[in-house]
Amino acid sequence: MHGVGGMGFGMGFGWIIGLLVLAAIIWLAVRAANPNNTHEDSNTNKSALDILKERYARGEIDKSEFQARKENLM
């Protein structure tokens, strides 16, 4: 009787929009409550040698470059 544009459609699927809005509010609240939980902040406590070792392990630098940079740090 109400058709697609009437209240029948809105009442049937309106709760989905409400759930999406509620989920967005919860996500924003969690994000605001814990702003220090980012990937970039986890690197701030690493020493230069730790970062150098990670770069070598990932294959970004070769063994000779690793050794030369390690000696410069020591």
Give residue-wise pLDDT tens across range 52-67. Answer: 999 999 999 999 999 9
Which tokens sit at 35?
């702003």
pLDDT of residue 8: 55
The answer to whether 24 and 49 are in contact (CB under 8 A) is no
Tell me the pLDDT tens digit for each residue of 3-28.
Answer: 555 555 556 677 788 889 999 999 99
| Integer Cα distance of 19 and 15 in angstroms | 6
In a shared domain, residues 1 and 32: yes
> Are 49 and 33 contained in the same domain?
no
Q: By residue range, what is the domain housing residue 73?
A: 44-74
> Is the same domain home to 11 and 31?
yes
pTM: 0.41
Do 20 and 51 belong together in one domain? no
pLDDT at 17: 84
Q: What domain count does the chain have?
A: 2
Q: Based on the domain organization, do 2 and 27 belong to the same domain?
A: yes
Same domain, 1 and 33: yes
Same domain, 33 and 1: yes
